[in-house]
Structure 1
Amino acid sequence: MRFVTWLLFLMLGAAVAAEPRRSGYETMSPALQQMQRDDASNPAMLSVQEGQVLWQQWNCARCHGEAGRSLRGVAARYPAFDAALGRPLNLAQRIQQCRRRDGAPVPASDSEALLSLTAFVALQSRGQPIAPPDDARLAPFVERGRALFERRIGQLNLSCAQCHEQRAGQKLGGSLIPQGHPTGYPLYRLEWQALGSLQRRLRNCASGVRAEPWALDAPELVELELYLMRRAAGMAMDAPALRP
């Protein structure tokens, strides 16, 4: 049945997504939009509270000061280039690097602890425009991310661009195909019943087209994230978001 659904999807033909760009929030139902806006109803805020506790327990303020001031706009500027490693890191990886530098236990990638602290940090940039760093060292990584976005993969021979640009706004299995802008990560997906990272979403997409998912923290995932943030430059952050 899933294969038939994808086959019908391919037969719909291309329809280039029209400007203005629309985030996943804008394409949700009014009821879900209201749930996201209400911090008492948005389930992602439970993780934010856990992240705030970790911020205090791990004494992050020792280096970064008061979160509401020092972290304003930080999440909107990641991934960013790390000179010591010679490659870009996303926000969660930056948190891991901070822990390594301090000689402290490092939370595992996509662990509840790392997602919660990332969500707390991301909340401080809510409403801020996505502003990728103007750093020439990132150029080759952005280009690789763009190539990955446009590359056909998997048994279904589909690319990210075919879904999220050519067919954005159409339906797949009854669900609206979004434009794929990463404005809300980490976010709570009702499908997952949990908070999840952009890496999780990208790995799910790879599985959906019957491709081998990249490993967590694979360079390809960071390069895709870097390109997606460039593609969404200027759009408002709404993390930690809610999505269907």
Structure 2
Amino acid sequence: MNHPWTGPRLARVALLLAVAVFGPAAGPRSGFETMSPELRAMQQDDLANPGMLHVAEGEAQFQQQGCTACHSAEAMQGVAARYPAFDAARDGPIDLAGRIAQCREERQGRAPLPREGKEMLALSVFVAHQSRGLPLTPNPDPRMEFVRRQGEALFRERRGQLNLSCGQCHDDNAGRRLAGSLIPEGHANGYPLYRLEWQGLGSLQRRLRNCMVGVRSEPFAPGAAEYIALEAFLAERARGLVVETPAVRP
């Protein structure tokens, strides 16, 4: 006769004990989960989320600038979840803002837009918003693997006068507090997003620059290959989290 605490019953109890002691299975945790109930409610309510004003502006820009001649909003679903991607014409990686700029310049003959300018942020957030609720599925092109490795090396590299790396904060000390603020895991599944600190919309590259300045390191130039490599690694690091654009953060 089997002992009552053997077999499937024992396995179930062991699983329950593991969850109780160690918590759920490890995996990426969105910054949304660590925010206050008020901020979560703000993000979830499209009438209260200030980023949605920029989505509406982006939709208007999408139509006014002739994007609809080639693309529909529906065709943009899932696009942001796969970027950065490898661009064969440039023989290198490109992020979503770079692709938008490429379309404007090469297909429409328009001048490039500043990356943090109102028009580019609006177009980027509108396109990314079409993927809201879809899981991040980093581009499977094998040529992106080297780019992701570059990004991971940058993520682990100590920088600046404070000699700190991204990983020391967002991997090693995630969940702890720094000057009273909770350190998040630093996943990039909601950009462009509305940050209360900025009182406006901003890109992932803006956030990366802020971190570099914070550790007293010289930031890269806007649109630099290093930023795109970091974006590619961060997308892989957050694989499976859903796109929240436009997210709201403190």
Answer whether TM exceeds 0.5 for this pair.
Answer: yes
Q: 1:90 aligns with which of 92, 95, 115?
A: 95
Structure 1 distance, partners of 2:112, 2:97, is 11
Unaligned segments of structure 1, at least 5 residues: 1-17
Which residue identity does 1:133 align to in structure 2?
N
Which residue of structure 2 aligns with residue 161 of structure 1?
A: 167
**1:25 aligns to 2:32 (yes or no):** yes
C-alpha displacement of 1:105: 2.9
Structure 1 distance, partners of 2:198, 2:93, is 28
Which residue of structure 2 aligns with residue 44 of structure 1?
A: 51
Q: How does 1:95-134 map to 2 (within 5 A)?
A: 95-101=100-106, 102-134=108-140
Structure 2 distance, partners of 1:104, 1:211, is 34
SS at match of 2:33: coil
Structure 2 distance, partners of 1:118, 1:85, is 20
SS at match of 2:86: strand
Q: How does 1:140-179 map to 2 (within 5 A)?
A: 140-179=146-185
Aligned residues of 2:136 and 2:243 also touching (Cα < 8 A) = yes
Which residue identity does 2:62 align to in structure 1?
W
C-alpha displacement of 1:214: 1.1
Structure 2 distance, partners of 1:20, 1:58, is 40
Q: 1:198 aligns with which of 186, 204, 210?
A: 204
SS at match of 1:106: coil
Which residue of structure 1 aligns with residue 80 of structure 2?
A: 75
Aligned residues of 2:28 and 2:237 also touching (Cα < 8 A) = no
Deviations 1:53-105 (A, max 9, x none): 1001012111012x0x2011100000001101111111011000000112123
Number of residue equivalences: 225
Which residue identity does 2:247 align to in structure 1?
A
TM-score (norm 2): 0.88
Which residue identity does 2:105 align to in structure 1?
R
Q: 1:239 aligns with which of 226, 238, 245?
A: 245
C-alpha displacement of 1:140: 1.4
Bigger Cα Rg: 2
SS at match of 1:64: coil
Which residue identity does 2:76 align to in structure 1?
L
Deviations 1:131-182 (A, max 9, x none): 1111111121111101000000011111000000000000111111000110
Structure 1 distance, partners of 2:187, 2:218, is 23
Q: 1:227 aligns with which of 212, 229, 233?
A: 233
Which residue of structure 2 aligns with residue 35 of structure 1?
A: 42
Structure 2 distance, partners of 1:133, 1:35, is 31
Which residue identity does 2:241 align to in structure 1?
M
Structure 1 distance, partners of 2:113, 2:55, is 16
SS at match of 1:117: helix
Percent identity between the two aligned chains = 56
C-alpha displacement of 1:215: 1.2
Q: How does 1:205-220 map to 2 (within 5 A)?
A: 205-220=211-226
Unaligned segments of structure 2, at least 5 residues: 1-24
Which residue identity does 1:71 align to in structure 2?
M
Structure 1 distance, partners of 2:111, 2:161, is 40
The RMSD of aligned alpha carbons is 1.0
